[in-house]
Amino acid sequence: MFDTVVIGKGPAGISAAIYLKRAGLEVLVIGKDMGSLQKAGLIENYYGFAQPIRAEELFRSGLKQAENFGVPIIDDEVTGFDFGEAFTVKTLSQSYQAKTLLIACGKKRKSVSIEGVQRLEGRGVSYCSVCDGFFYKGKKVGVIGDGKFALSEAKYLKNFVKEVTIFTDTEQPLFPLEGIPVVKDKILEVYGSERVEGIRTTVADFSLDGVFIALGSAGADDFALKLGILTDKGSIAVDENYMTNVEGVFAAGDCIGGFAQVAKAISDGAHAAIAITRYLRKKK
């Protein structure tokens, strides 16, 4: 049982983890990649560096700093959550329990440009298997995506639906095939008049009752949907203590909007960690 599981190992998440550890709390960081720093190249406006520093170098230094404080950092992908007396964070390989969560995984920047997807959102197009999977009990659905997140969504949906198929839109699947049909043809559109009726590819039409979007890795918007967190204009909504509308769930960094800079992310992480520490001490 951890006091806090931090989802995201970028500047906001690592900053928070360091402050939490220094406060004597048991913290775990789970992250898959560099987040926004992945595309940053050189950082030229960060305090303390007279010369530009490569984003990857700054990222690695942050991880090393947290590890020196004794913070465990796991390279894994969070795929879902369970609620109870504590939060259960599910990854591709394991589950972890925590008293509080901090979402600090930035914003997903991979958009969906498939015809029909936006028009049919809420009418058969969904982004959350946990939220909407039950509504397709005994029906046929498709999952669009080529990564392990897509596989995780498809495996969850198998608990409810009659049939689930993964559509990778010409990409090679980045996961082991586990008895779930995979279609690699180019997707032309998600079609239907009032609701989703299927997916049309360059090769065939596939009759479906619903389509779930699971591109890339799960991001803050996916977690918000799964946890019932309110958002505002695409960002997670937090109060002055960086807590979301779900008690015990906090957020920091790019995912809460504002100035998309390393300095701001680090500040968010520090403030969120202080708020989490106060919250946990009050709960004792």
DSSP string computed for 44-55: -S-TT-SS-EEH
Q: Give the residue from 213, 236, 262 where a domain finishes.
A: 213
Contacts 24+ apart (CB under 8 A), 39-47: 43/262, 45/261, 46/262, 46/263, 47/263
How many Cβ atoms sit within 10 Å of the Cβ of residue 206? Answer: 20
Q: Please indicate, yes or no, whether residues 188 and 247 belong to a single structural domain of this protein.
A: no
Q: Which domain holds residue 69?
A: 2-108+218-283
pLDDT mean across residues, the chain: 89
What is the arithmetic mean of pLDDT over 22-46? 82
Q: Please indicate, yes or no, whether residues 223 and 104 belong to a single structural domain of this protein.
A: yes
**Measured between alpha carbons, how far is residue 238 from residues 102, 159, 175, 230, 278 in Å?**
11, 33, 35, 8, 16
Cα 82 to Cα 85: distance, rounded to the nearest angstrom: 10
Residue 198 has pLDDT above 70, yes or no: yes
In a domain, 115, yes or no: no
Which residues, including other chains, have CB under 8 Å from residue 57's CB and lie 6 or more apart? none
Residue 233: pLDDT band with limits 50, 70, 90: confident
Of the candidates 83, 82, 102, the residue with the CA atom closest to the CA atom of residue 250:
102
By CB atoms closer than 10 A (0-12, 13-18, 19+), residue 281 is: exposed
Q: Please indicate, yes or no, whether residues 148 and 52 belong to a single structural domain of this protein.
A: no
In a domain, 265, yes or no: yes
Which residues, including other chains, have CB under 8 Å from residue 183's CB and lie 6 or more apart? 165, 166, 167, 168, 201, 206
Q: Please indicate, yes or no, whether residues 14 and 103 belong to a single structural domain of this protein.
A: yes
In a domain, 162, yes or no: yes
Q: Please indicate, yes or no, whether residues 180 and 273 belong to a single structural domain of this protein.
A: no
Are 271 and 238 in contact by the 8 Å Cβ rule? The answer is no
What is the arithmetic mean of pLDDT over 72-80? 90
In a domain, 114, yes or no: no
Reported pTM: 0.74
Domain count, the chain: 2
Among 51-65, 173-187, 215-229, whose mean pLDDT is lowest?
A: 215-229
Q: Please indicate, yes or no, whether residues 31 and 166 belong to a single structural domain of this protein.
A: no
In a domain, 242, yes or no: yes
Of the candidates 104, 60, 144, the residue with the CA atom closest to the CA atom of residue 251:
104
Q: Please indicate, yes or no, whether residues 162 and 188 belong to a single structural domain of this protein.
A: yes
Give the percent of the chain with pLDDT over 70.
Answer: 95
> What pLDDT, on the 0 to 100 scale, is given for residue 221?
74
Cα 201 to Cα 36: distance, rounded to the nearest angstrom: 32
In a domain, 116, yes or no: no
Q: Please indicate, yes or no, whether residues 147 and 100 belong to a single structural domain of this protein.
A: no
Q: Please indicate, yes or no, whether residues 21 and 76 belong to a single structural domain of this protein.
A: yes
HSE-CB at 17 with a 13 A cutoff on CA atoms is: 31
Q: In which element (H, E) is residue 200 found?
A: strand 198-201
In a domain, 117, yes or no: no
Residue 12 has pLDDT above 60, yes or no: yes
The most confident of the ranges 85-94, 173-182, 213-222, 242-251 is 242-251
> What pLDDT, on the 0 to 100 scale, is given for residue 57?
92
In a domain, 113, yes or no: no
> What pLDDT, on the 0 to 100 scale, is given for residue 250?
97
**Measured between alpha carbons, how far is residue 157 from residues 28, 69, 141 in Å?**
28, 40, 8
Residue 109 has pLDDT above 60, yes or no: no
